[in-house]
Structure 1
Amino acid sequence: MRIGLAGAGRIGAFHAATLQHLPAVEQVLITDAVADHGARVAAGLGAEYVDSFEALLAAAPDALVITTPTATHADLIIAAVDAGIPTFCEKPVAASLERTVEVVRHVEAGGVTVQIGFQRRFDVGFRAAAAAVASGELGFVHHLHALTGDAAPPPAAYIPMSGGFFRDCNVHDFDAVRFVTGHEVISVHAVGANRGEQFFRDADDIDSAAAILTLDDGTLATVIGTRYNAAGYDVRMEVLGSAGSVAVGLDQHTALRSAEPGTDFPVGPSHPTFMERFLPAYVSELTAFTRVVAGLEANPCTARDGLQAFRIAEAADRSRRSGRTVLLSDVPDA
C-alpha cells in the first residue's frame, strides 16, 4: 500500500522510517510545512516528497499518517475523512475539548477509520497486564498506580502549546488505565505543583502532578507524573488485584534505584527518552494500522478513545484548578 505522512519532525521521521520497512508498505510519500526539511527527510529515507498536504491528498494514498503539531490535527483529520482516506494521527485528536468533540462526531458520521496514537496499547507489558485483568487471574482489581516521569523538561517554547501537563503527559496514563482495566473513569481529583523552571508558571502550567481516579466498578487508580526525573525516562504501572498483582515497566532499565542494602536491581541503563522506551511499541502500532487499513483487524484505538482520555485530562485540570473532585459526567462528550 501507499502511505502519505504529514509532518517530518522527530516522531514523524521515525514513523516514516518504520513505514519504509513494513512489508505491507510499498511507498511512503512525505510532506512537511518546512519544505527543505521535509525534502531532506524524504531523500534520506528514499521516500517521495510532495510540497503540501493538499498535494498529498491529491496523490490518493491508501492511508495517511499525521504527525504534525497538535494545533493542526483537527483540520487534517477532517480533510482526510472528507477524502475517504483511513488515517493514523498521533495524540491528541485536537487541541481543545470542544474541537475534539467536533472531530469525533465528524469521524463517526463519515465512517472513515481514524486510529489515534497511544503507543502504550502496543507495549508488551501493558498488553500483558490487560490480558491478566481480562482473564481474571488477578481476581478483582482494587488499585492501579501509574507513573510517567520525563528525564528532563521539554523546551520552554513547547509548554504554552502543549495543552498542559495532564493533556500532554498524563493523558497516556489515563488511556492506559482504560485500556488495561476495560473500565471507564467516573471521577477525578487532581493536584499539581511547580518545583522547577519558571517557564511552567509563565504558561499557567505545572511540572508535577498527582490524580486519584475512581472507575465505574469501584477500582481506584492513582496517576502521578513529573517533568523532572533525571534518573531516566520512567513509565510504569502496578495493577493490584485480590488474587495477584502485576507490574509494567519494572525491568533492568527501570529509572529507579533500590535503597535496600545488597540489592543491585535494576542494573540499567535507564531509557533516556520515550523513543527508546517504546521503540517496539511504535513499530507494532504502525504495523497494526496497516492491518486495519487492509481490513485484517479492527481499529485498536479510535478517535472516541482519544476523546475519552482527553476528557479525563480535562477533568484532572479542572480539578487541580478548583480543588474539587470533578465528575466525568460533567465533562462534554460526543
Structure 2
Amino acid sequence: MTSHKAVTLGLAGTGRIGTAHAETLKNLPNVANVIVADADADRARTTATKLGVEFAPDLDALFAADLDGVIVTTATDSHPELIVRAVDAGLPVFCEKPVAADIDGTLAVLNHIQSSSVPVQIGFQRRFDAGYRAARAAVASGSLGWLHTLRATTLDPAPPPAEYIPRSGGIFRDCGVHDFDIIRWVTGREVVEVYATGANRGEQFFVDAGDVDTAAVSLRLDDNTLATVSLTRYNGAGYDVRLEALGSKANAIVGLDDHSPLTSVEPDYPASPYPAYPGFMDRFRNAYTEELVAFVSVVTGTLENPCSPTDALEAFYVAEACELSRAERRPVQIAEVRR
C-alpha cells in the first residue's frame, strides 16, 4: 500500500470514545472514508448522520465493505473476536485497551495472531501525549541521571455509572493499567514486584462488584527504581493525571499545567485562573488524535506499530499482580502471574 493512498476505515462501536474517534478520523487528510457500525444499529445510524460518515447496519456489513483497516471501540468482551476477525481478513486493526478481559483471553488472541504480519495497535493514548514523550526523551538522554522514584496518578473526578464497574475489570485493569504501561514506556524498564492496597469510602456498588474506589500501588522496577501509583474515582477537584520522574540530576514532570486540579495553600501563591480538566477526553484530546494519525500511517505501511498487543499484555500482568496483592495483602512478583 503506498503512503499517498487515502484509506477507508471501518469503526466498530459508536459509544463515546468511538464517536470521538470517528469524528477525528473523518478529518484526517489520508482518510477518504469512515464507515461506522454498532450492535445498536440505531445508535450507529445516528452517529453516521451526525458526523457525515457512512453507516453499516451490522458488523457483517462493515467487514464486507472495501476496508483498509478497522478501529475497535466496542465493549471489552467483543475485542478478541473483532481483533481476530480483522487480522484473519488481512486488515490492520486499532483496538482500545484491553485486548481481552483477562490474561488467558489476551494470550489466546496473541497465539492466534502471532504468525500473521497484520499489525494490531492497542490504544494506550498516553504514549502519544507530548508531555509523556518529552519525559521519555529526557530519561533516554540521561539528563535526569539515574531514576530513583516515579510517582504516577490517575485520579478521576467522579465514578462511572454503577453498571460499568462489574464489567470494568477493576480499578487496576481499568485505570491503573495506563500508568503501568506508561511507566514501562517512559523508563524502558520492566516491573518485577508490586504491592497494592485499596479502600472504599464511596458508593456501595464498588463493594458489590468486589472492587475499590481508591488504590495505592508500590512498584519495583528491574533496575531497583521505585514507583508509586495513586488511583481514585473521587477526585472532586478535577481530572488529575500526572507522572513525576525524579532522578539523581534532575526531574521531569508530566501533566503539570494551568489546568491541573492542584491547589496550593502557600501564602501569596496565586491560584490558576483556568478550570481543571473535567475528564480524560479533554486532557488527552491531542494524544487521541495523534494515536489515530499513527494508526493511519500503520495502515499505509509508513510506520511500525507503536503499541503492540504484547505491550498490552505486559501492562496487564502488572494489573493482575496488583489485584492478587490487594486480595492477599502481600507483595507479589510479576513472575507469579506470568503465563
Fold agreement, TM-score > 0.5:
yes
- CA distance in structure 1 between the aligned counterparts of 2:273 and 2:154, rounded to whole angstroms: 20
- CA distance in structure 2 between the aligned counterparts of 1:322 and 1:313, rounded to whole angstroms: 14
Partner of 1:14: 20
Check conservation: 1:107, 1:303, Cα contact below 8 A. Answer: no
Offset of residue 223 of structure 1: 0.5
Partner of 2:314: 308
Partner of 1:66: 72
Check conservation: 1:251, 1:266, Cα contact below 8 A. Answer: no
Offset of residue 52 of structure 1: 1.5
- CA distance in structure 1 between the aligned counterparts of 2:246 and 2:337, rounded to whole angstroms: 28
Residue 48 of structure 1, aligned match among 33, 48, 54: 54
1:214 counterpart letter in structure 2: R
Partner of 1:254: 260
1:209 counterpart letter in structure 2: A
- CA distance in structure 1 between the aligned counterparts of 2:310 and 2:270, rounded to whole angstroms: 43
- CA distance in structure 2 between the aligned counterparts of 1:59 and 1:252, rounded to whole angstroms: 45
| Aligned-residue identity in percent | 56
Q: Deviations over 1:81-124 (max 9, x none)?
A: 11111000000000111101111222222221000000000010
Corresponding residue SS for 1:18? helix
- CA distance in structure 2 between the aligned counterparts of 1:294 and 1:326, rounded to whole angstroms: 42
Offset of residue 68 of structure 1: 0.3
- CA distance in structure 2 between the aligned counterparts of 1:142 and 1:279, rounded to whole angstroms: 31
TM-score w.r.t. the length of structure 2 is: 0.97
Corresponding residue SS for 1:221? strand
1:259 counterpart letter in structure 2: V
- CA distance in structure 1 between the aligned counterparts of 2:284 and 2:33, rounded to whole angstroms: 25
Offset of residue 267 of structure 1: 3.2
Corresponding residue SS for 1:300? coil
Q: Deviations over 1:257-303 (max 9, x none)?
A: 01111111433210001000000000001001101111111111001
Residue 99 of structure 1, aligned match among 102, 105, 120: 105
Partner of 2:4: none
- CA distance in structure 2 between the aligned counterparts of 1:87 and 1:41, rounded to whole angstroms: 21
The answer on 1:293 being equivalent to 2:299 is yes
Partner of 1:130: 136
Corresponding residue SS for 1:143? strand
Corresponding residue SS for 2:31? coil
2:102 counterpart letter in structure 1: S
Matches within 5 A, 1:149-164: 149-164=155-170
The answer on 1:33 being equivalent to 2:33 is no
2:248 counterpart letter in structure 1: S
Structure 2 stretches lacking a partner, 5+ long = 1-6
- CA distance in structure 1 between the aligned counterparts of 2:287 and 2:21, rounded to whole angstroms: 12
TM-score w.r.t. the length of structure 1 is: 0.98
- CA distance in structure 2 between the aligned counterparts of 1:102 and 1:308, rounded to whole angstroms: 15
1:216 counterpart letter in structure 2: D
Partner of 1:222: 228
Structure 1 stretches lacking a partner, 5+ long = none
2:322 counterpart letter in structure 1: A
Corresponding residue SS for 1:252? coil
Corresponding residue SS for 2:269? coil
Check conservation: 1:104, 1:307, Cα contact below 8 A. Answer: no
Count of matched residue pairs: 333
- CA distance in structure 1 between the aligned counterparts of 2:172 and 2:190, rounded to whole angstroms: 17
Check conservation: 1:62, 1:85, Cα contact below 8 A. Answer: yes
Partner of 1:179: 185
- CA distance in structure 2 between the aligned counterparts of 1:321 and 1:111, rounded to whole angstroms: 39
- CA distance in structure 2 between the aligned counterparts of 1:56 and 1:110, rounded to whole angstroms: 22
1:147 counterpart letter in structure 2: T
The answer on 1:234 being equivalent to 2:240 is yes
Q: Deviations over 1:42-87 (max 9, x none)?
A: 1111111111212211113100000001111111111111111100
- CA distance in structure 2 between the aligned counterparts of 1:58 and 1:64, rounded to whole angstroms: 12
- CA distance in structure 2 between the aligned counterparts of 1:54 and 1:23, rounded to whole angstroms: 27
Partner of 2:124: 118
Corresponding residue SS for 2:114? helix
1:120 counterpart letter in structure 2: R
Corresponding residue SS for 1:154? coil
- CA distance in structure 2 between the aligned counterparts of 1:109 and 1:100, rounded to whole angstroms: 15
Corresponding residue SS for 2:36? strand
- CA distance in structure 1 between the aligned counterparts of 2:97 and 2:274, rounded to whole angstroms: 29
- CA distance in structure 2 between the aligned counterparts of 1:92 and 1:36, rounded to whole angstroms: 26
Deviates more, 1:213-222 or 1:107-116: 107-116
Corresponding residue SS for 1:85? coil
- CA distance in structure 1 between the aligned counterparts of 2:165 and 2:127, rounded to whole angstroms: 25
1:274 counterpart letter in structure 2: F
